[in-house]
């Protein structure tokens, strides 16, 4: 069988990192749009997007903050738009899916289990913060349960079903694969599903290659040919795990949401710089990178003409 091309997803800004941590982290609509477009230009066929408050960089799920950049991205690239439903530390599932319901993107995230999800150790690295909210936001993540109960998942899946959105199933540990299997068996998601194996979040499985092989083998057993997969390594594991995943036949996710660095101890200048790096590695090692339309085919997406923005 011909080897499938590699889909590069770029996650542009996320909900973990804060403006103090890197000047490159985009939070105005202009910066989110221009970094997303540059990432697409560099080879990302999927853009995973969160919104931020344009005044102070705080995480936002306000559909107006998405509306400020979505049409600009759509006008200037045919890359696939994937909206986060992750929200931030305090949002309910109904609040978190509001942007996806309003804009009906080709893809959106779907987090597959409740868990500790913490980045509080990052607070110690900074003496001063650019904005008032940052320190408490980072420190309080050690009190946070990222809530994605079966009822939440079912509620989100049912409300989003009429929109024919392909989910990026965020799986942070092996149990999340079994949650996903259960949800598939009761008819919530249709094949081929798209799994993002996530490594290195404090609260989830660690970023070792053994764990990647274990997650992949488990997914093979549970889903057979009915799934596509990608790897996200958080922080320092980003590039090495993406490289390993691409060599195993998987797809990859990079971006400042997941790591602020381009190499050990060196901050990335932009999302596009990370995309260009992983593209270079993937191609040097003999794989081809998928275009947006090839990504649409691989992931069985509804098409960029069926979104609502």
- Which spans of this chain sit near ligand KMH (rule: CB under 6 A)? 11, 14, 16, 84-86, 109, 111, 170, 198, 201, 234, 257
Q: Which residues sit opposite 109 in a β-bridge?
A: 168
User: What is the closest distance, in whole angstroms, from the C-beta atom of residue 127 to Zn ion in the complex?
Assistant: 28
User: What is the closest distance, in whole angstroms, from the C-beta atom of residue 200 to ligand KMH in the complex?
Assistant: 9
**Of 47, 33, 41, residue with least CA distance to 254:** 47
| Cβ-proximal residue to ligand KMH, closest one | 86
The Cα–Cα gap between 23 and 34 comes to: 15
Which one of ligand KMH, Zn ion, none is in contact with 170 (Cβ closer than 5 to 8 A by kind)?
ligand KMH
Burial of residue 116 (CB within 10 Å: 0-12, 13-18, 19+) is: middle
For residues 82 and 194, the answer to whether their CB atoms sit within 8 Å is: no
Q: Which residues sit opposite 289 in a β-bridge?
A: 6
User: What is the closest distance, in whole angstroms, from the C-beta atom of residue 84 to ligand KMH in the complex?
Assistant: 3
Q: Which is nearer to Zn ion, 110 or 287 (CB)?
A: 110
82-101 residues near Zn ion, rule: CB under 5 A: 84, 86
| Cβ-proximal residue to Zn ion, closest one | 84
Q: Which is nearer to Zn ion, 14 or 43 (CB)?
A: 14
Q: Which is nearer to ligand KMH, 14 or 287 (CB)?
A: 14
163-182 residues near Zn ion, rule: CB under 5 A: none
Structure tokens at 18: 């804060």
Question: Cα-atom radius of gyration of the chain, to the nearest Å?
Answer: 18
Task: Examine residue 211 and tell whether it contacts Zn ion (CB under 5 A).
Answer: no
Which one of ligand KMH, Zn ion, none is in contact with 85 (Cβ closer than 5 to 8 A by kind)?
ligand KMH
**Of 129, 127, 130, 85, residue with least CA distance to 110:** 85
For residues 169 and 194, the answer to whether their CB atoms sit within 8 Å is: yes
Chain residues binding Zn ion by CB under 5 A are: 14, 84, 86
């Amino acid at each position: 069988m011909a080897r499938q091309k590699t889909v590069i997803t770029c996650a542009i800004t996320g909900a973990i990192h804060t403006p103090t941590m890197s000047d490159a982290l985009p939070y105005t609509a202009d910066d989110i749009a221009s970094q997303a477009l540059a990432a697409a230009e560099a080879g990302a066929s999927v853009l995973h997007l969160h919104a931020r408050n344009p005044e102070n960089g705080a995480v936002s799920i306000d559909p107006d903050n998405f509306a400020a950049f979505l049409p600009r991205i759509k006008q200037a690239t045919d890359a696939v738009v994937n909206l986060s439903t992750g929200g931030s530390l305090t949002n309910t599932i109904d609040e978190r899916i509001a942007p996806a319901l309003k804009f009906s993107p080709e893809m959106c995230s779907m987090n597959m289990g409740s868990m500790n999800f913490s980045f509080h150790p990052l607070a110690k690295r900074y003496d001063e913060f650019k904005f008032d909210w940052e320190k408490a936001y980072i420190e309080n993540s050690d009190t946070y349960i990222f809530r994605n109960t079966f009822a939440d998942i079912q509620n989100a899946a049912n409300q989003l079903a009429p929109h024919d959105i392909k989910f990026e199933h965020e799986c942070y540990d092996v149990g999340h694969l079994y949650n996903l299997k259960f949800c598939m068996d009761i008819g919530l998601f249709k094949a081929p599903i798209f799994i993002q194996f996530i490594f290195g979040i404090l609260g989830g499985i660690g970023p070792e290659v053994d764990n990647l092989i274990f997650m992949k083998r488990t997914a093979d057993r549970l889903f057979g040919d009915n799934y596509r997969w990608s790897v996200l390594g958080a922080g320092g594991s980003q590039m090495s795990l993406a490289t390993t995943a691409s060599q195993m036949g998987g797809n990859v996710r990079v971006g400042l949401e997941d790591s602020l660095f381009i190499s050990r101890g060196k901050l990335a200048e932009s999302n596009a710089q990370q995309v260009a790096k992983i593209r270079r590695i993937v191609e040097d090692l003999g794989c081809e990178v998928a275009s947006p339309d090839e990504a649409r085919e691989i992931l069985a997406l509804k098409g960029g003409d069926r979104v609502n923005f």
